């Protein structure tokens, strides 16, 4: 999961991109970057490891403010290529034609494709940039054609923005539409962002979502829409609704907040526990906890404080996850002491955070802790944009029973939503739910096939 942004217009490109990226910071906190191109085709890139406010806090940033055509930006959460040595984005490449790309997703078969293109690369980001460049040169400088060729070869999920020194901006989604991407075009200016909430906050106006497989080009005067040669039934990532996206965003026309409320309602409909208080795991469990409380009649209270300066737990790099999960939360004894607690969270992926929270609720005096999870057990890895590429990382890997999971996190009971309930809560008939079911939307590829492909 990463955040991408773009802007073309008469405004201050650097300032607008910074605003969009700050609004997307929840999608990645490891690295941030911006590329801009001037009207006469000079391309500038500034990126580094850290938050947007850290990388762009200096008074002098080597990015022009005058004569600018537009730019793109990226906030990074590593999905491949490791954490410490990961490539920051945007990544720029080329000589006569220069391009910069920023993308959100994972290319599961990038090692196989890198062999086909005779490329030596260390990540899917490097592969994608190089492959787009090669295909652009093979197709008479046409980035759109390059994206069409690659859309047919790639197994994975992506949303992408490309900036060229022609100058043009091109943005697209993979043909199954796994990741969000939206834009506002008002005739003079174009704003692009991974999530609608960033657009609403920074620019307002009427946004549109990019369709699966859609490729849109803006040269500063007119916008052109085209599409990948083959479009599949859309399979947007259900985890965007469960966790990734902000609650004030809309994805495929569905409000993230409303879907999370409905996840809590669905969960409560299956439950019959008697308890004193519903406590959300902040912040991502809150909306589901509200839904659960409404449907169950058990009052909801804040019992846990989350230190926002430590970022989002799931996207914390692995080498610091253990101590971050301990430092991140504070517990309100007056709310939980002597109470039977229903603890609601969006998901359990690795289990590190949940184990620590259950233990510390008991230390704060909770007499019982009943864990309720808005999504089903996360049993299979993802190869379409999140950092779980091996089953061994998952608490609920495919052979683990619910009782094993309950014991592992130390809860009195555990209940998950079912895949059907989750699908009902989102309200779309076609979704990717592969991390819960093991059914990947790629012509019968299994988790093992994709694991082998990814690690080959
Ligand atoms: S496997 Fe899960 S996290 Fe990955 S795209 Fe599908 S639903 Fe999203």
Indicate which CATH number applies to the domain containing 140. Answer: 3.60.20.10
Range of the domain at 369: 256-429
Give domain status of residue 240, yes or no. no
Which one of 178, 239, 259, 383 would you pick to mutate in the ligand 1 pocket, going by the greatest count of ligand atoms within 8 A of its CB? 239
Query: Is there a binding annotation on residue 345?
Result: yes
Residue 295, CB half-sphere, CA atoms under 13 Å: how many? 19
Query: Is there a binding annotation on residue 435?
Result: yes
Residue 384: CB within 6 Å of ligand 1?
yes
Give domain status of residue 445, yes or no. no
Q: Do residues 200 and 268 both lie within one domain? A: no
Residue 175, CB half-sphere, CA atoms under 13 Å: how many? 18
Residue 238: CB within 6 Å of ligand 1?
yes
Q: How far is the CA of 159 from the centre of ligand 1 (A)?
A: 14
Q: How far is the CA of 354 from the centre of ligand 1 (A)?
A: 20
Ligand 1 atom 4, closest CA? 382
Residue 434: CB within 6 Å of ligand 1?
yes
Q: Do residues 195 and 338 both lie within one domain? A: no
Q: Do residues 173 and 317 both lie within one domain? A: no
DSSP symbol at 394: -
Residue 435: CB within 6 Å of ligand 1?
yes
Bridge-based pairing of strands 31-38 and 68-76 is: antiparallel
- Please, where are the H alpha helices in 12-101? 13-23, 52-55
Residue 432: CB within 6 Å of ligand 1?
yes
The total of other beta-carbon atoms located within 10 Å of residue 208's CB is: 13
Distance between CA atoms of residues 383 and 368, nearest Å = 37
Give domain status of residue 439, yes or no. no
* Length of the chain in terms of residues written: 456
Please tell me whether the peptide bond between 167 and the residue prior to it is cis, using omega within 30 degrees of 0: yes
Quick check: 202 and 17 in contact, CB under 8 A?
no
Give domain status of residue 251, yes or no. no
Q: Do residues 220 and 263 both lie within one domain? A: no
Query: Is there a binding annotation on residue 429?
Result: no
Q: Do residues 267 and 211 both lie within one domain? A: no
DSSP symbol at 211: P
Query: Is there a binding annotation on residue 346?
Result: yes
Give domain status of residue 450, yes or no. no
Q: Do residues 12 and 157 both lie within one domain? A: yes
Structure-block tokens of residue 247: 């609650």
Give domain status of residue 440, yes or no. no
Residue appearing with tokens 């652009």: 136
Give domain status of residue 438, yes or no. no
Indicate which CATH number applies to the domain containing 359. Answer: 3.40.50.2020
Q: How far is the CA of 433 from the centre of ligand 1 (A)?
A: 6
| pLDDT score at 309 | 78
Q: What is the mean pLDDT of each run of 10 residues along the chain (456 residues)?
A: 95 97 95 96 94 84 91 83 67 92 95 96 93 96 97 97 97 98 96 98 95 98 96 96 97 98 98 97 95 98 89 60 76 97 94 92 98 95 76 73 93 97 96 95 88 81
Distance between CA atoms of residues 332 and 183, nearest Å = 41
Q: Do residues 101 and 201 both lie within one domain? A: yes
Distance between CA atoms of residues 345 and 196, nearest Å = 24
| pLDDT score at 12 | 96
| pLDDT score at 180 | 98
Give domain status of residue 229, yes or no. yes
Distance between CA atoms of residues 442 and 436, nearest Å = 16
Ligand 1 atom 5, closest CA? 237
Residue 49, CB half-sphere, CA atoms under 13 Å: how many? 8
Q: Do residues 326 and 409 both lie within one domain? A: yes
Number of domains in the chain: 2
| pLDDT score at 152 | 97
Distance between CA atoms of residues 48 and 57, nearest Å = 12
Q: Do residues 326 and 295 both lie within one domain? A: yes
Cα torsion 264, 380, 125, 61: sign: positive
Nearest-atom index, ligand 1, CA of 433 = 7
Q: Do residues 213 and 343 both lie within one domain? A: no
| pLDDT score at 78 | 64
Nearest-atom index, ligand 1, CA of 238 = 7
Residue 242: CB within 6 Å of ligand 1?
no
Is 2 tagged catalytic? yes
Write the CA distances from 210 to 16, 47, 179, 427, integer angstroms.
20, 26, 10, 19
Q: Do residues 141 and 271 both lie within one domain? A: no
| pLDDT score at 81 | 47
Nearest-atom index, ligand 1, CA of 381 = 1
Q: What does the H/E/C string look like for 35-51?
A: EEEECCCCEEEEEEECC
Quick check: 110 and 124 in contact, CB under 8 A?
yes
Q: Do residues 197 and 262 both lie within one domain? A: no
Residue 239: CB within 6 Å of ligand 1?
yes
Judged by DSSP in three states, 275 sits in coil
């Amino acid at each position: 999961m990463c955040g991408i942004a773009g802007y073309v217009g008469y405004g201050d490109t650097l300032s607008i991109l910074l605003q969009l990226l700050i609004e997307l910071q929840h999608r990645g906190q490891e690295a941030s970057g911006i590329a801009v191109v001037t009207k006469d085709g000079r391309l500038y890139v500034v990126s580094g490891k850290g938050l947007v406010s850290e990388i762009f806090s200096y008074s002098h940033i080597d990015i022009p403010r005058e004569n600018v055509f537009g730019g793109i930006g990226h906030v990074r959460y590593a999905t491949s290529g490791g954490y410490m040595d990961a490539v920051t984005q945007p990544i720029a490449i080329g000589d006569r034609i220069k391009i910069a790309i920023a993308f959100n997703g994972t290319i599961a078969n990038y090692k196989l494709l890198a062999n086909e293109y005779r490329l030596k690369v260390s990540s899917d980001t490097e592969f994608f940039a190089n492959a787009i460049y090669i295909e652009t040169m093979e197709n008479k400088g046409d980035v759109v054609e390059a994206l069409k060729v690659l859309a047919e070869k790639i197994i994975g999920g992506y949303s992408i923005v490309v900036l060229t020194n022609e100058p043009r901006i091109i943005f697209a989604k993979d043909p199954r539409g796994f990741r969000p991407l939206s834009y506002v075009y008002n005739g003079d200016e174009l704003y692009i962002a991974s999530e609608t909430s960033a657009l609403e906050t920074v620019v307002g106006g009427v946004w549109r979502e990019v369709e699966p497989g859609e490729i849109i080009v803006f040269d500063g005067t007119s916008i052109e829409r085209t599409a990948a040669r083959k479009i599949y039934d859309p399979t947007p990532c259900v985890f965007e609704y469960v966790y990734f996206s902000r609650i004030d965003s809309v994805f495929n026309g569905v409000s993230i907040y409303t879907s999370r409320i409905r996840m809590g309602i669905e969960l409560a409909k299956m439950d019959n526990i008697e308890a004193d208080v519903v406590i959300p795991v902040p912040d991502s469990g809150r909306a589901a906890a509200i839904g659960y409380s409404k449907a169950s009649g058990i009052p909801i209270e804040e019992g846990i404080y989350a230190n926002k300066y430590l970022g989002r737990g799931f996207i914390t790099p692995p080498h610091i996850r253990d101590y971050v999960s301990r430092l991140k939360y504070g517990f309100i004894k007056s709310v939980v002491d002597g109470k039977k607690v229903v603890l609601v969270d969006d998901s359990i992926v690795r289990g590190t955070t949940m184990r620590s929270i259950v233990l510390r609720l008991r230390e704060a005096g909770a007499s019982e802790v009943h864990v309720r999870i808005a999504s089903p057990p996360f049993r299979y890895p993802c190869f379409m944009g999140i950092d779980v590429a091996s089953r061994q990382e998952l608490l609920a890997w495919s052979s683990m029973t619910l009782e094993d999971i309950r014991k592992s996190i130390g809860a009195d009971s555990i209940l998950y939503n079912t895949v059907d309930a989750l699908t009902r809560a989102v309200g779309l008939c076609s979704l990717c739910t592969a991390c819960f079911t093991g059914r990947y939307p790629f012509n019968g590829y299994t988790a093992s096939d994709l694991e082998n492909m990814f690690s080959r």
